[in-house]
Amino acid sequence: MADAAFGDRPADWPLPSATTPDQLWLRAVAAGGQGRYGAAYRDLAVLRRTAPTGRLASLGLSTQASFLRQLGWHSVARGWD
């Protein structure tokens, strides 16, 4: 999933199911990069429930804020940072 999110396979879809919080975040990044914000939001919501604190929680919140900004919802995004 890292290759879909940051590597040389950004068009891969569908992605395999995530089995770890790290994979949930990578799936969300890859989905958002493809404009699949609904899928990305779903994975980030699961991530918030499975990793409510720590590094991945922070990454998940900032990723959500980034997606909201990409959609033009800057004021809504402030609450996610």
pLDDT digits 0-9 by tens, 9-19: 999 999 999 99
What predicted TM-score, i.e. pTM, was given to this entire model?
0.93
Share of the chain above pLDDT 70, in %: 100
Task: Inform me whether the pLDDT recorded for 40 exceeds 90.
Answer: yes
Residues 44 and 38: their CA atoms lie apart, in Å, by: 10
| 3-class secondary-structure state, position 81 | coil
Residues 56 and 21: their CA atoms lie apart, in Å, by: 7
Task: Inform me whether the pLDDT recorded for 81 exceeds 90.
Answer: no
Residues 8 and 6: their CA atoms lie apart, in Å, by: 7
**Cβ contact 47:56 at 8 Å:** yes
